[in-house]
Amino acid sequence: MKPNRFDIICQAYKIPELKFENQTLTSFGGLVLIQQLFIAVGLKTRLKGCFRKLEGGKVFPRAIIFLQLIIHLVLGYRELQDSRYYHDDPLVKRVLGLKRLPDVATLSRMLKGADTVSIENLRHLMRDMLFERLMTLGFPMTTAMNSK
């Protein structure tokens, strides 16, 4: 049976309170801090804007898929198959706002389905976020290299 969007997506707005006690945590407890960073920079909302054109009829929104890929890299994984290591982790699901994570085949199909306009939007977003951060840091001079 194919799941519908309401079986997959959940709302998680409140940041869990960190207490440094003797307790069992998931291996990815540091994601609470990453979640706060994503909220501070508005990453989820900004990613939705990149893929607005492609959002029809999919259970997993493309913005969430790309957010999962960012988290995948932050956790230190490089291969899509490595998502099996955190597939059942409740904190990863919470950061993504999902009740269930997509499998590797879904990730691969969604990556394949991203069009050039969406990818270009994503590149512009990453560039804009980089420049915003550089402006915030207030470096007196920044040197850029032309990538062509």
Hey, CA dihedral for 45, 46, 47, 50, is it positive or negative?
A: positive
Q: Please choose, from the candidates 124, 100, 102, the residue with its C-alpha nearest in 3D space to the C-alpha of residue 113.
A: 102
Sorting pLDDT into bands at 50, 70 and 90, what band is 115?
confident
Distance separating alpha carbons of residues 50 and 36, to the nearest angstrom = 21
Domain segments of the chain as ranges: 29-137
Q: Please choose, from the candidates 124, 116, 31, 100, the residue with its C-alpha nearest in 3D space to the C-alpha of residue 70.
A: 31
Tokens in use for 57?
Answer: 């009829």
Distance separating alpha carbons of residues 46 and 141, to the nearest angstrom = 27
Distance separating alpha carbons of residues 111 and 109, to the nearest angstrom = 5
Q: pLDDT per residue over 54-113, tens digit each?
A: 666 678 888 899 999 999 999 999 999 999 999 988 889 989 989 999 999 999 988 888
Tokens in use for 120?
Answer: 């270009």
Distance separating alpha carbons of residues 53 and 9, to the nearest angstrom = 20
C-alpha R_g of the chain: 17
Q: Please choose, from the candidates 81, 85, 94, the residue with its C-alpha nearest in 3D space to the C-alpha of residue 44.
A: 94
Q: pLDDT per residue over 50-59, tens digit each?
A: 888 766 667 8
Q: Is the pLDDT of residue 147 over 60?
A: no
DSSP secondary structure letter of residue 81: G
Sorting pLDDT into bands at 50, 70 and 90, what band is 23?
low
Q: pTM, whole model, 2 decimals?
A: 0.74
